[in-house]
Structure 1
Amino acid sequence: MRLSVGKDLSEIQQTRLFANWLLDIGDGNANGSNDGDAVIHILEDLITQSSDPIGSLIKFVYPSFLDNLNDPKYFEERSILAPKNQVVQEINDRLLSLFLGEEKEYLSLDSICQTEFIHNQFDESLYSPDALNGLKISGLPNHKLILKIGVPIMLLRNIDQKNGLCNDTRLQVVSLGNRVIETMVLTGSNIGHRVFISRLSLTPSDNKIHTSSKGDNFP
């Protein structure tokens, strides 16, 4: 599919055409009706050649990074989406390395979800802490969470909807305690508000994960 954009079109119209192009690809309608096999011509603006694609992506989304570390609006307007948690972690690690200051490491305290014993019979000794710590579960942070002051973060749970602390709310780290993180809200109706995020007991929502509970972690 080729996208022809005239020079007289406004930026909004160009964005709308691009969005429709993406939707057609996602819905399987690219290049008209097809039986699942179609040729898609990628826009030249989207094609880049780099030996370090993640580094190039970070530079594109976060230009003049070091000059804008103290500007909350800079992070409010920018984000990177990735298809897999593994890619998300790699991007996070690369972006974290660009921030100044010391890292602070937080570890989860993983254990068997005791409610599972009511309906299932299994040997708890088979599920060691190392095995539980190694699980990569959608909607929950990894066992090891590393942060720095100034880093933008995103909530993975609705913890205070009244005050706008909902899933996908973006915040910026202000200070790092042992069990509490002080943050500033970057999105939603409470932009600029200071809020404290404490450790919570979290249980995976994935029905395929029947034997683990992530307790004492940040949402």
Structure 2
Amino acid sequence: MIYNEHIYNEALGKIEDKVMAMVGKKLSDFGMISPQRTTENELSDEIIRETNYDIPALQQQVAELVPRLLPEQKRVFDKVLGQIESGNGALFFLDAPGGTGKTFLLNLLLAQVRKDKNIAVAAASSGIAATLLSGGRTAHSVLKLPLNLAQEESPIFNFSKNSARGIMLRQCKLLVWDESTMSHKKAVETLNRTLQDLRSNTDVMGGMVVLLAGDFRQTLPVIQKGTAADEIKACLKSSILWNKVTKFSLTTNMRVHLYNDVNAGNYADTLLKIGDGRLETDAEDCVKLTRDFCNLVQNHSELIPSVYSDLTNNMHEDKRLCERAILAPKNESVNKINSDILSEVGKEITEYLSVDTVVDTEQSTSYPVEFLNSLELLGVPSHKLQLKLGVPVMLLRNLDAPRLCNGTRLRVTHLGRNIIGGTIMTGVGKGENVIIPRIPITSTDLSFQFKRLQFPIKLSFAMTINKAQGQTLQVAGVNLEKPYHWSILRRLIADWKH
């Protein structure tokens, strides 16, 4: 291998990019040498990333799959492409319940634009959803969204007009944003202002064609310590841009269409009725689930074996582990179920304790270590992490997208002192063996900045219903021992078969 300063600098740049994605810090923050970056080099990387596709393969994909589009899909396809060809921008929203072919359509649109050597950017509000899009990345990664976007009065994206990212977005023909319904309305409003500035165009989205997609019946923006009214206020439909959006809907369930599956059709119809508020409720405004809709058990002690039968003998079957999960509304219930299952499987428990600190050292005396250890925060691993070999875990941070994203599930294969080994069970890296390090995770959800050094994973026998967004499950159990509002029950994923 030939060594020179250019290769060395390029390696430093790639390492820093990984570190930035993992912990949001530069190499200089760790006392390392920083790469020498130029706009020209960064622009080259940006353009290569968004144009480095197999053109003949894309042409074949379009030729083979466009004829398979259903009329409602073809209508969206033609309208979006027509708007791009006209040179006029537009803001579209695609309402698509699970199972209606949304991802198929989005990937086909991306292929159509890219086969002509144009830039089409694919973003999603969650790591799992991003892995389902060709060339997909999280919206936070693509647009460099500020972490505390919801708290800022007028948030801005973390790149300048003349940066490589800014120049790439000026050249972009189509921006697809999947699961946009999960994002705060400020994210889309900030995108609009940013594109108007980048492209020196006061039209909506600066004259770019932007296609938002999602399902308001599923996960809305999560507002810390907020009410249902706060979630609605933060959602896209409450945005000043909503009356400028051209709306489309996909309604045909593909399983029913392709396989004439009557049971799947009835199940999908019931889910839609729940999500649309059309299912009959009782005097307390509760939906009564019936045995022809799902199997009912009395408590989570009965629920566990119904989902994980003979788990001890099936712990090393990745396919069986990744295709099933128990879902619950709150982390409290999830943690209890995970703990109960862990105690019943495997042998020796390995325990990992985090190192918790206050970022501002002047405030450290106000917050004892015992208090910091007790904190359970959204997206932050627990202070005490207990694991056994073979158990399924879920990543809580993007480590190496698209293989290792927030939401990726793995089976633990090694429990070392400073590293944890695992086999990826879901997504594009399925079957690969990887190493998970401890990383510093900073939370801004408190009145002070708090940092926890811990492995960014948690057990995933059970997970929250929100965290299940984008997961495909063959067998799912749902713990509704505590009341759960009917309007959110639609989040019970349309990808389940049982």
Q: What TM bracket, shorter-length normalisation? A: 0.7 to 0.9
**SS of equivalent residue, structure 1 residue 215:** strand
Partner of 2:289: 42
Deviation at 1:148, TM superposition (A): 0.3
Offset of residue 167 of structure 1: 0.7
The DSSP-based 3-state class of the residue aligned with 2:302 is helix
1:192, distance to aligned residue in structure 2 (A): 1.1
Report the 3-state secondary structure (helix = DSSP H, G, I; strand = E; otherwise coil) of the residue aligned with 2:326.
coil
Q: Partner residue of 1:210? A: 447
- The match for 2:357 among 111, 121, 125 is 111
The 1-side partners of 2:265 and 2:419 are apart by 42
Counterpart of 1:167 in structure 2: which amino acid?
A: N
CA contact 1:108–1:214 (8 Å) conserved in 2: no
> What is residue 127 of structure 1 aligned with on the other side?
367
**1:98 and 2:338 correspond:** no
Identity %: 37
Structure-to-structure mapping, 1:1-219, within 5 angstroms: 12-31=261-280, 38=285, 40-45=287-292, 46=294, 48-50=296-298, 53-114=299-360, 123-162=363-402, 164-204=403-443, 207-219=444-456
**Cα 1:28–1:172 shift into 2, 3 Å:** same
Instruction: After TM superposition, give the deviation of residue 100 of structure 1 in Å.
Output: 1.6
Deviation at 1:44, TM superposition (A): 2.4
How many angstroms does 1:166 deviate by?
0.2
Q: CA deviation at 1:208?
A: 3.5
Write the distance in 2 (CA, Å) between the matches of 1:194 and 1:47. 36
One-letter identity of the residue aligned with 1:218: F
CA distance in 2, matches of 1:192, 1:68: 17
* Aligned equivalents of 1:87, 1:128: Cα separation in 2: 27
Moved more, 122-131 or 14-23: 14-23
Where do 5+ consecutive residues of structure 1 fail to align? 1-9
Q: Distance in 2 between matches of 1:203 and 1:11?
A: 49
Give the count of matched residue pairs. 197
Deviation at residue 108 of structure 1 after TM alignment? 0.8
Q: Give the residue type in structure 2 aligned to 1:87.
A: S
What do the CA deviations read for 1:29-84 (whole angstroms, capped 9, x no partner)? Answer: 3239xxx974633212546453xx12211101111212212211110111111111
Cα drift, residue 99 of structure 1: 1.6
In structure 1, what is the Cα distance between the partners aligned to 2:431 and 2:295? 37
SS in 1 for 2:328: coil
Q: Give ranges in structure 2 of 5+ residues lacking alignment.
A: 1-258, 457-498
Measured in 2, the distance between the counterparts of 1:72 and 1:143 equals 27
Q: Which has the larger radius of gyration?
A: 2
TM-score by length of 2: 0.37
Residue pair 1:185, 1:191 contacting (<8 A) in 2 also: yes
Task: Give how far 1:87 is off.
Answer: 0.6
Report the structure, 1 or 2, having the larger helix content: 2
Offset of residue 141 of structure 1: 1.4
- Tell me, in whole angstroms, the C-alpha distance in 1 between the residues paired with 2:368 and 2:425: 38
Q: Distance in 2 between matches of 1:136 and 1:11?
A: 46
| Contact 2:396-2:406 at 8 Å conserved across structures | yes
Q: Check conservation: 2:357, 2:364, Cα contact below 8 A.
A: no
Equivalent pair of 2:297/2:303 in contact (CA under 8 Å): no
With over 3 angstroms needed to count, the CA separation of the structure-2 counterparts of 1:11 and 1:180, relative to structure 1, is farther
> Shift of residue 26 of structure 1?
4.0
The 3 A distance-change label for structure 1 pair 156 and 16 is farther
Cα 1:123/1:161, change in 2 over 3 Å: closer
Q: 2: distance between equivalents of 1:184 and 1:102?
A: 20
Q: 1:212 to 1:60 in 2, by over 3 A?
A: farther
Cα offset for 1:202?
0.4
3-state SS of paired residue (1:40): coil
State the SS of the aligned residue for 2:385. Answer: strand
Summarize the Cα distance change of 1:12–1:109 in structure 2 as closer, same or farther, 3 Å threshold.
Answer: farther
Secondary structure of 2:412's aligned partner: strand
Distance between the aligned counterparts of 1:107 and 1:11, measured in 2?
A: 52
